[in-house]
């Protein structure tokens, strides 16, 4: 019973503090906002990128841990590549075998071409001698037959070279395909970011498409807010905004509007009261400059709640309370 009373007191205290904070904001801060500046609450979000396997296989190594910063192209994990390596070696051997076959076919074609040239010369000579009655029709017919045989043999050799060349092209494409599979056993970071989740460990067998890691793209950090139509209507991409986070209210973070929904929606349940949810609002995305994020990336944390202020016409400047203030 005593424990239950303690919990009840704690919950009541949190409610009073939250209510007091809201009352202070409503009466002391929101009341001071000039015309043209609208406010809404939200939380910091960052684009998440899943690092997934293209192939099914056993994880042999994961080189990073949760919280690590990784660079684009950095190796993050490896899968068992023994089978794919064997396929690649077989494909490469097949290409080399076909290359040798083509060399042999080309040598044969050169020999057949020489035989054809000789047969052509013998046929021309036989024709001249036959006209002068120095050789018989039978000899002329024999030379003609030899010429056609040499011509057919040479044509067949050329066809053989073409067939082997096509087989080499197919084998090379197969080798490239297997090389691609081999490359896919090494998972690299698609972006620069922070490791948010490590979802597998060495020794685990993962299916094709299985997620191994989740990265936070710290160059794409934003807050999503919901504004009424009269505020969202005049907004344009690039409109200035300010973000104040609950844990560090002494800092004012500059931001800009990067997205305004084309259609209105009901306010999400977690945002406002039931009465407010009956109104239609527009979803607005407020993004922080990537250069600023890079400077303070060690402080960036997704999920932190705060308040966003957006400047719309006719406002031309920010009040003193909303001038940019950043950590040293």
Please choose, from the candidates 169, 181, 206, 187, the residue with its C-alpha nearest in 3D space to the C-alpha of residue 87. Answer: 181
Q: How much is the pLDDT for 24?
A: 43
Integer Cα distance of 86 and 7 in angstroms: 64
Gap between the Cα atoms of 301 and 222, Å rounded: 11
Domain membership of residue 112 (yes or no) is yes
Closest CA to 281 of 225, 228, 223: 228
pLDDT value at residue 276: 55
Ramachandran area for residue 303 (φ above 0: left; ψ -120 to 50: alpha; else beta): left
The verdict on residue 313 lying in a domain is no
- The answer to whether position 250 is within a domain reads no
pLDDT in tens, 160-177: 999 999 999 999 999 999
Burial classification of residue 67, based on how many CB atoms lie within 10 Å of its CB (0-12 exposed, 13-18 middle, 19 or more buried): exposed
pLDDT in tens, 234-260: 888 999 999 999 999 999 999 999 999
Q: What is the pLDDT of residues 121-146, one digit of tens each?
A: 999 999 988 888 888 889 889 999 99
pTM for the model: 0.70
Residue 274, SS3?
Answer: helix
> What pLDDT does residue 157 have?
95
- The answer as to whether 257 is a domain residue is no
Domain limits for position 122: 82-184
Q: What is the pLDDT of residue 23?
A: 42
Residue 298 pLDDT = 87
Q: What is the pLDDT of residue 27?
A: 40
In a domain, 126, yes or no: yes
Separation CA 250–CA 244 (nearest Å): 8
Q: Rounded to a whole number, what is the largest CA-CA distance in the chain?
A: 135
DSSP 267: P
- Domain membership of residue 107 (yes or no) is yes
> In the chain, how many domains are there?
1
Residue 268 has what pLDDT?
65
What end-to-end distance do the CA atoms of the chain give, in Å? 49
Within the chain, which residues score under 70 in pLDDT? 1-32, 267-278, 315
């Amino acid at each position: 019973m005593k424990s239950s009373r303690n919990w009840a007191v704690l919950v009541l205290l949190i409610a009073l503090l939250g209510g007091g904070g809201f009352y202070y904001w409503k009466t002391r801060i929101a009341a001071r906002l000039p015309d043209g500046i609208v406010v809404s609450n939200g939380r910091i979000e960052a684009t998440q990128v899943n690092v997934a396997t293209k192939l099914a296989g056993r994880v042999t190594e994961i080189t990073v841990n949760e919280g690590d910063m990784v660079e684009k192209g950095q190796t993050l994990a490896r899968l068992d590549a023994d089978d794919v390596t064997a396929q690649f070696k077989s494909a490469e051997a097949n290409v080399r075998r076909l290359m040798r076959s083509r060399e042999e076919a080309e040598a044969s074609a050169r020999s057949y071409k020489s035989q054809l040239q000789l047969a052509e010369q013998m046929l021309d000579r036989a024709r001249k001698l036959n006209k002068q009655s120095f050789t018989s029709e039978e000899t002329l017919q024999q030379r003609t037959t030899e010429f056609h045989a040499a011509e057919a043999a040479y044509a067949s050799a050329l066809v053989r070279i073409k067939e082997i060349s096509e087989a080499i092209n197919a084998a090379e494409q197969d080798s490239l395909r297997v090389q691609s599979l081999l490359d896919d056993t090494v998972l690299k970071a698609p972006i620069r970011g922070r490791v948010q989740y490590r979802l597998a460990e060495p020794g685990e067998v993962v299916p094709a498409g299985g997620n191994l890691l989740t990265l936070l793209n710290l160059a794409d950090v934003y807050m999503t807010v919901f504004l009424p139509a009269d505020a969202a209507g005049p907004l344009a991409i690039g409109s200035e905004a300010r973000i104040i986070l609950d844990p560090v209210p002494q800092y004012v973070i500059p931001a800009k509007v990067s997205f305004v929904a084309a259609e209105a929606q009901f306010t999400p349940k977690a945002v406002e009261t039931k009465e407010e949810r009956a109104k239609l609002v527009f979803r607005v995305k407020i993004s922080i400059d990537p250069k600023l994020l890079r400077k303070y990336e060690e402080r960036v944390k997704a999920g932190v709640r705060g308040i966003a202020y957006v400047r719309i016409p006719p406002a031309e400047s920010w009040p003193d309370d909303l001038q940019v203030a950043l950590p040293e």
